Amino acid sequence: MEHFEYNLASYGIVINMLLRVAICIECEKTIALSSLVLHIRAHLKFVDVPCGLADGLRASFALEEALVWPKTPIKPIFPIPIEPEPLVFCNNCNKGYATVNSVHSHQRARKCSDTLPPSDTYHNGYGQLIHIGRARGYLEVIVNDLVKKTDKQIDHAALFMDNLGGIRDYANMPVRLPEDEMNLSSFYHRDGWLQHLEGYTAADLSEAYRASTSEDPGGEILRNLAYRYLREAQENIKTHSGFGLMRALGSVMPTE
């Protein structure tokens, strides 16, 4: 339940409209309105909690200082944990107790079962522990649609992989030049190879320099042509390297 003025999540509380109470997420307990601001400040010492918070929530959500106890089982209340073992509930007021003797003591003291047949004074069910000021009681909840943690099979490997996120396939990512050329190594900066490789992927480059096979058409012809080109280019560079224009034409330095 959200409020138009107060960010309840920032105060670590939620509002339950059925019980008409505020619940502390950290303590997992209901909080009396009279102590709501002090309770929040005890958890969040550096958060500015307005003094009129309790009055504002009371007016907006019709909250009560005393807990409105439901007469029938309800859906579980966040974030209060459900007791792992079944409890015993009074069939008249629906308040829960740990043992049959406890519920009988409650019924005798308050005459809570006077209108019930002797064989139908209590029933078993699951509940949540609700704090009402300094007192506390068990509230019955519906667990038919819930699964126990012990009965739920968890695939930890699948959870890990699902939360790992996408893995980059660097082999199929285009080669990119760095934003600052000074980050290049001296080899790449001097010879300028990356400018010719930009846009190709690592897989493309691997395909380009791999050894040819019998299934590659023209592989042997292309290899011989490339070898001839490089051999003649090296001979020309050595022959024409020197001063002036010939030196500039034969240089591989990008600055010359």
Q: What is the mean pLDDT of residues 225-249?
A: 74
Q: Round to whole Å and give the CA distance between 18 and 71.
A: 12
**Single pTM value for the model:** 0.55
CA angle 31, 52, 11 (to 5 degrees): 50
pLDDT of residue 163: 78
Classified as helix, coil or strand, 218 is coil
Residue 255, pLDDT score: 52
93-151 pLDDT, tens digit each: 899 999 999 998 988 888 887 777 877 889 999 999 988 777 788 999 999 888 777 77
The burial of 13, by beta-carbon neighbours within 10 Å (0-12 exposed, 13-18 middle, 19 or more buried), is given as: buried
The pLDDT value recorded for residue 256 is 47
Burial of 21 (0-12, 13-18, 19+ CB in 10 A): buried
Nearest to 236 by CA among 226, 224, 223, 246: 246
pLDDT tens readout for residues 143-202: 988 877 777 788 888 888 777 767 777 788 887 776 666 666 665 666 667 777 778 888
Distance, in Å, from the CA atom of 138 to the CA atom of 86, rounded to the nearest integer, reads: 11
5-51 pLDDT per residue, tens:
888 988 999 999 888 899 999 999 889 888 899 999 999 988 888 88
Q: Which two tokens stand for residue 95?
A: 């308040």
The reported pLDDT for the residue numbered 189 is 63
